[in-house]
Amino acid sequence: MPLFATLADMQARFEARDLIQLTDENGTGEIDAARVDAALTRADGIITGYVARRHKDVALFAGSQLLSDIACDLAFAELWRSDRPEHVKDRHKDAMKRLSDISAGTIVLDGGQEVAEPRPDAIMFPGQPNTFGRDSLKSF
């Protein structure tokens, strides 16, 4: 089961006729859920690789709308067998750019709550108290 997006997310983001055209190899007129899930699973692997660079527990972000949108765009591009249209290439490129930004810390998934792990053998000590502050400059 894909982690970041589902078939329902894909149906909400893309036209049903496009998903049917890309997945219905048997001519049933239905979306092939197995093909969509396989594409979403591959997208999960890509997303996990980028997010894990910055966050230990990637599963914490399973409900993230941003990652869901990225997963859908990557999976949709994956469903094209050949000659992706420009708008699909652009969505894929934008999704990869956003993943790079997440990996670099430009886009923050945890609301800025990420805590840096202490380095081994690092010396930690409190800093000097502020020389100037509200209390010391009351008379000015």
Q: Is the dihedral of CA 66, 84, 104, 71 positive or negative?
A: positive
Q: What is the pLDDT of residues 24-65, one digit of tens each?
A: 988 899 999 999 999 999 999 999 999 988 888 888 888 889
Given this model, what pLDDT does residue 124 score? 63
| CA distance to 41, 48, 76, 89, 97, per residue, from 92 (Å) | 16, 16, 8, 5, 9
Contacts of 52 (CB under 8 A, 6+ apart): 58
Cα gap 139→24, rounded to integer Å: 77
Given this model, what pLDDT does residue 60 score? 84
Q: What is the pLDDT of residues 92-134, one digit of tens each?
A: 999 999 999 988 888 888 765 555 566 666 666 677 766 777 6
Cα gap 41→61, rounded to integer Å: 15
Given this model, what pLDDT does residue 93 score? 96
For the chain, report the end-to-end CA distance as a whole number of angstroms. Answer: 64
Q: What is the pLDDT of residues 130-140, one digit of tens each?
A: 677 766 676 66
Given this model, what pLDDT does residue 118 score? 60
Does the global pTM surpass 0.85?
no
Given this model, what pLDDT does residue 55 score? 82
Cα gap 48→102, rounded to integer Å: 11
**Other CB atoms closer than 10 Å to residue 72's CB: what's the count?**
25
Q: Where are the alpha helices (DSSP H) in 52-113?
A: 65-79, 86-104
Average pLDDT over residues 80-91: 91
